[in-house]
Amino acid sequence: WVWSPLVVAAHTGTLTWGDLWAQQNSHRTVVPTLIALGLAALDGWDTRIEGLASVVLAALVAPALLVLIVRRFGSERGRWPFWIASLLVYSLVQSENFIWGFQLSWFVVDACVLGLVLALTGLPDGARGYARFAAALLCAVAASLSMIFGFAAWIVGFVMLLQARVRRRAVLLVLWTA
């Protein structure tokens, strides 16, 4: 019900940035709220569609996990870690998260952190590396503006940049920290 006044405000044309920026418990859920409002504009606010969006985001997590696990363990040894990770993402315990539309926030953060890790894994030098760095920055910002625990994305990115083997690592670390 937290989103209902926002949906009404969007429908009546009275939605303001302050409405989007308002704190919900200890979270600022700007990105999930924008997604929910976009979905509400398309379907008249059928919360089942928000649940479906959560399923889609979780489905995007699977190939990202597979890529990361294969990069780390190889395709043969990575099979079991991938299945274990998939069981955690798609377990029956998650069923309530999939049917409650507002739980979209959790899946946005998961997708953003995995996107950040994919972008920073094997970061190359040059223009391609800066593009991947920018993508990681966008993922960290989106995670931070989704739930309070999304701020952990900045720590993950910092640690990954500390381990990166690129010429301008110090510059990237300063930019990331800023």
Low-confidence ranges of the chain (pLDDT < 70): 1-2, 101
Per-residue confidence (pLDDT) for residue 46, from 0 to 100: 78
Per-residue confidence (pLDDT) for residue 88, from 0 to 100: 79
How does pLDDT run across 132-177, given as a tens digit for each residue? Answer: 999 999 999 999 999 899 999 999 999 999 988 888 889 899 999 9
Per-residue confidence (pLDDT) for residue 138, from 0 to 100: 97
Per-residue confidence (pLDDT) for residue 101, from 0 to 100: 66
Per-residue confidence (pLDDT) for residue 158, from 0 to 100: 96
Q: Residue 162 burial by CB count (10 A; 0-12/13-18/19+): exposed, middle or buried?
A: exposed
